[in-house]
């Protein structure tokens, strides 16, 4: 069995242009985005291990926030998730797998979590 390293950033609330209905296509809507990223794992993390042995969590956060192209309308939230995955794969060759969970907050009526989870593996 091989060692593994997962980095996680959960419950980011991001305003994104997305949707298929006319009332959704003009204004951004709130999405709750969570990421889990599988990375190549070093053999050991000593107390003085530098950040370069892992990945900065802010890179994950930025892939789900500032790296989303402003003014671009994503018809499906699956497209948002795919863009986040591709951003992380392009940033770092050590990223092996990305799981993105997106919840559409605007359509919840009783705090239900309605959305998608997309998992992509490096090819």
Domain containing residue 86: 5-45+52-121
At residue 21, the pLDDT reads 75
Which is nearest to 118 in space by CA: 99, 104, 105, 103?
A: 99
User: Using CA atoms, how far apart are residues 114 and 116, in angstroms rounded to an integer?
Assistant: 7
- Provide the number of structural domains found in the chain: 1
Radius of gyration, alpha carbons of the chain: 16
**Cβ(6)–Cβ(36) below 8 Å:** yes
Beta bridge partners of 98: 37, 120
Taking the model in full, what pTM does it have? 0.92
At residue 27, the pLDDT reads 86
**Would you give per-residue pLDDT tens digits along the chain (123 residues)?**
789 899 999 999 999 999 887 676 778 999 999 999 999 998 899 999 999 999 999 999 999 999 999 889 999 999 999 999 999 999 999 999 999 999 999 888 888 899 999 999 999
Domain harbouring 105, CATH code = 3.30.1130.10
């Amino acid at each position: 069995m091989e060692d593994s390293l997962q980095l996680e950033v959960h419950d980011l609330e991001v305003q994104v242009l997305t949707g298929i209905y006319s009332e959704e296509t003009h204004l951004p809507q709130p999405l709750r985005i969570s990421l889990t990223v599988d990375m190549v794992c070093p053999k050991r993390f000593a107390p003085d291990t530098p950040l370069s042995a892992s990945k900065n969590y802010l890179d994950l956060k930025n892939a789900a926030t500032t790296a989303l192209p402003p003014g671009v309308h994503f018809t499906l939230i699956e497209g948002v998730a795919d863009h986040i995955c591709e951003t992380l794969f392009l940033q770092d060759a050590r990223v092996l797998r990305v799981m993105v969970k997106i919840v559409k907050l605007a359509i919840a009526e009783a705090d239900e979590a309605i959305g998608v989870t997309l998992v992509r593996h490096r090819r």
